[in-house]
């Protein structure tokens, strides 16, 4: 029993990974990516058709919620998991991205691919504007400020004319196609592949950051902010960086989301979604990319899969959350245990 409890899938995976040489690794990564990109067809293929979701189309579920939540959970993981800053208003950046797409495309007729960098830019700017005052605070004070920011963005969208008030903005155009790839309501799998590319880019970016100076600075800040500062880490700058990069990922997700669903309203950017993304991060294994991806996939997919439970599915979802946290407090796939050394010493 204790062996089972101490079993750490991440370390197990890492030990296999370490044994492989470079071509094997590349091959493995490519195999996984191509397998995942075939996901949209899983529902119509016999052996995997159990994955099909009742009521909503499986391919749409793969884009939103699953793909979007994986992307946003990865973005939030930079803030909460890497540098240990509790952000309860992450949905704000998603909303900013979505409204940039909605406003710029309906008023100026820009295409989604042009808006994407702008949406990311707006989200980053708002990240700086929020971060500069808020990141001077710590812990739960930061949590409440970010929570407030999330609500502020929603309320502003609710009350301004340019955002369409409570009814939101309708008639957002789909992204223009290229190379014969069409993006419209008949081809949700194409959106999934765009989201998949964004997810892969984000994972690559996080992995690059983690082994370089910002990653080390975040790790130091997460473990002990005072010590990090004493060791010469410019904590405010690096906290701001993690905040802004997290915001950029959220903004990118928002742009794609708005161009996919074509209608957005302030109701879609409520506080519960911030909490849901945080739950994805913690449920999967805070700080560990693969854990976060798994956690977000499971949590986003589960409510759709159990739609046959109808009204009680959210209730079941809540209970699953409590149960899982009690069984595995570090999440499904916890991050690398840094206290390994002491464990070896005690044997």
Partner 1 sequence: MNFSVIGSQFWSLAFQGLALGLIYSLVSLGYTMVYGVLRLINFANSEVFMVGTFSVLYLQINILGVPIGEPALHGVKLIAYLAISLIGSMIVCALLAILVELVAYRRLRARGANRLASLISAIGVSIALLEGFSMLTGARGQIAPRLLDKWSFGEFAGANFRIDQVMAIVMPIVIFLILDQFVTKSRLGKSIRAVSMSEENSKLMGININQVITLTFCIGGLTTGAAAFLYTTVYENTVFNVGFNMGIAAFTAAVLGGIGNLRGAFYGGLALGMLEQFASAILGSQWKAITVFVVLVIILLFKPNGLFGEAVQQTRT
Q: Which residues bind partner 1 (CB under 8 A)?
A: 80, 86, 133-134, 136-138, 140-141, 143-145, 147-149, 151-152, 155-156, 158-159, 271, 275, 278-279, 282-283, 286, 311-312, 314-315, 317-323, 325-326, 329-331
Cβ-based nearer residue to partner 1, 37 or 265: 265
Cβ-based nearer residue to partner 1, 186 or 310: 310
Q: 240 near 85, Cβ under 8 Å? A: no
Cβ-based nearer residue to partner 1, 258 or 279: 279
Q: In angstroms, rounded to a whole number, what is the distance separating the alpha carbons of residues 331 and 317?
A: 16
CB of 256 to partner 1, least distance (A): 27
Cβ-based nearer residue to partner 1, 71 or 279: 279
Q: Which of 219, 224, 218 is nearest to 239 (CA)?
A: 218
Cβ-based nearer residue to partner 1, 44 or 223: 223
User: Nearest 5 degrees, angle CA 297-CA 301-CA 306?
Assistant: 150
Q: Give the relative orientation of helices 289-305 and 271-284 as an angle to the nearest 10 degrees.
A: 120
CB of 33 to partner 1, least distance (A): 30
Instruction: Return the residue matching tokens 């009680």.
Output: 312
CB of 277 to partner 1, least distance (A): 11
CB of 24 to partner 1, least distance (A): 35
* Helix H or strand E segment including 67: none
CB of 186 to partner 1, least distance (A): 34
Cβ-based nearer residue to partner 1, 156 or 200: 156
Q: In angstroms, rounded to a whole number, what is the distance separating the alpha carbons of residues 53 and 307?
A: 8
CB of 225 to partner 1, least distance (A): 13
Instruction: Return the residue matching tokens 């996939």.
Output: 297
CB of 86 to partner 1, least distance (A): 7
CA distances from 92 to 43, 59, 139, 219, 287 (A): 33, 26, 19, 25, 21
Q: Which of 313, 295, 296 is nearest to 304 (CA)?
A: 313
Note if the bond before 65 is cis, omega within 30 degrees: yes
Cβ-based nearer residue to partner 1, 9 or 205: 9
């Amino acid at each position: 029993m204790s062996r089972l409890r101490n079993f750490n899938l991440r370390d197990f995976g890492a030990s296999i990974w370490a044994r492989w040489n470079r071509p094997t690794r590349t091959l493995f990564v490519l195999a996984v990516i191509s397998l995942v990109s075939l996901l949209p067809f899983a529902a119509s293929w016999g052996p995997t058709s159990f994955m099909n979701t009742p009521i909503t189309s499986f391919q749409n579920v793969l884009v939103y919620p699953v793909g979007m939540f994986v992307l946003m959970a990865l973005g939030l993981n930079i803030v909460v998991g890497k540098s240990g800053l509790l952000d309860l208003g992450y949905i704000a950046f998603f909303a900013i991205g979505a409204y940039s797409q909605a406003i710029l495309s309906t008023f100026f007729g820009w295409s989604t691919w042009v808006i994407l960098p702008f949406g990311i830019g707006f989200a980053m700017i708002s990240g700086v504007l929020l971060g500069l005052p808020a990141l001077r605070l710590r812990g739960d004070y930061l949590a409440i400020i970010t929570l407030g920011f999330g609500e502020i963005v929603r309320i502003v969208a609710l009350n301004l004319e340019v955002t369409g008030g409570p009814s939101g903005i309708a008639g957002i155009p789909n992204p223009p196609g290229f190379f014969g790839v069409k993006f419209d309501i008949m081809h949700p799998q194409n959106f999934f592949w765009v989201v998949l590319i964004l997810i892969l880019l984000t994972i690559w970016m996080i992995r690059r950051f983690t082994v370089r100076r910002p990653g080390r600075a975040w790790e130091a800040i997460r473990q002990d902010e005072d010590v990090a500062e004493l060791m010469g880490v410019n904590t405010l700058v690096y906290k701001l960086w993690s905040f802004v990069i997290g915001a950029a990922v959220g903004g990118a997700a928002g742009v794609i989301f708005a161009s996919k669903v074509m209608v957005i309203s302030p109701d879609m950017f409520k506080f519960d979604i911030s909490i849901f993304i945080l739950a994805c991060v913690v449920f999967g294994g805070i700080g560990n990319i693969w854990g976060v991806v798994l956690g977000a996939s499971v949590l986003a997919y589960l409510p759709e899969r159990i739609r046959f439970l109808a009204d009680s599915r959210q209730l079941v979802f809540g209970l699953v959350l409590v149960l899982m946290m009690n069984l595995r407090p570090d999440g499904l796939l916890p991050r690398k245990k840094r206290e390994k050394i002491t464990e070896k010493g005690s044997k």
